[in-house]
Amino acid sequence: MNFRVREVQETGSTNADVLTAALAGEPEGLVVSAGTQTAGRGRLGRTWQSPPGGGLWFSVLLRPDVPPARLGWLPLLAGVTLAHGVRDLAGVDAVLKWPNDLLVQGRKCAGILAEATGTGAVALGIGLNTRLTEEQLPPPPPSGLPPTSLALAGASDVDNNALLTALLDRLASAYADWRAAGGDPEESGLRSAYLGVCATIGLDVRAILPGGAELRGRATTVDNEGRLVVDGRAIAAGDIVHLRTDAQAM
């Protein structure tokens, strides 16, 4: 698939723009990439800081014709693409905290938000801090991970446009493989690729579920729907805290 990139200097949220386009019938492949977002959003109603030029803030319109139970793998696929991409293209080691926080040196360098229209389309939004300086970093959340950027982690000459093009190429190819396998995580190789970059597996974790309930236990694997398995219980959404020190988890 060829992505069609629409660059905008400023918008509220590229995910909102892509959802609107999807509902108006836009075919898959549209990418909206913004210089800055004034209402960037995270998961579970949180906000995403997107200062001008400080990162890649973009969303991709996909219409994945895979069984609904496989859709949970789509944001994980994006996470694997980012982790490998950041390593190969920027020379920065990165791992994932389930589901798809990109961690560099124990700090959060990117986040992913997948939102569905309910009519078969998904806005896959990626926020990657590329050139954010120390002064531009958002304040560390009280119980979450402190932020960082590729530049702060030592990447030199980060070119936002070149990085976007290269990441989209990789995303197109991983998405095509996954779709050709009907969304099957084994057959597409996605599951083993994900387990290879996910630092959460094997750790004792605290899982904070969307309603606020908490669960502690050992994260053992990711199931066929992309859910994290903690002491035999599958978690579809929530926030994970690595209980061994995050430094060790890196």
Among 64, 85, 111, 185, binds ligand BT5 (CB under 6 A): 111
Q: Tell me the window of 13-21, 159-167, 168-176, 207-215 that interacts with ligand BT5 (CB under 6 A).
A: 13-21
* Count of residues in contact with ligand BT5, rule CB under 6 A: 29
Q: Which residue is listed with tokens 């050709």? A: 180
**What's the gap between Cα 18 and its chain centre?**
16
- Paired residues of 110 in beta bridges: 102, 128
CB of 63 to ligand BT5, least distance (A): 18
Q: Tell me the window of 51-59, 76-84, 155-163, 176-184 that interacts with ligand BT5 (CB under 6 A).
A: 51-59
| 81-84 own/partner pairs: CB under 8 Å, 24+ apart | 81/167, 81/170, 81/171, 81/174, 82/110, 82/112, 82/126, 82/128, 82/167, 83/197, 84/170, 84/193, 84/197
CA R_g for the chain: 17
Contact 168, 59 (CB under 8 A): no
- Paired residues of 33 in beta bridges: 7, 58
**Is the Cβ of residue 138 or residue 217 nearer to ligand BT5 in the bound state?**
138
Residue type, 142: P
Residues 6 or more apart whose CB falls under 8 angstroms from that of 238 comprise: 207, 208, 209, 210
Among 31, 49, 77, 230, binds ligand BT5 (CB under 6 A): 49
CB of 49 to ligand BT5, least distance (A): 4
Q: Does 129 bind ligand BT5 (CB under 6 A)?
A: yes
**What's the gap between Cα 41 and its chain centre?**
13
Q: Does 48 bind ligand BT5 (CB under 6 A)?
A: yes
Per-residue binder mask for ligand BT5 (CB under 6 A), 131-150, x = binder: -------x--x--x--x---
Among 19, 22, 28, 40, binds ligand BT5 (CB under 6 A): 40
Among 22, 30, 57, 81, binds ligand BT5 (CB under 6 A): 57
CB of 175 to ligand BT5, least distance (A): 17
Interface contacts to ligand BT5, rule CB under 6 A = 13-15, 37, 40-44, 46, 48-50, 57-59, 101, 108, 111-113, 125-127, 129, 138, 141, 144, 147
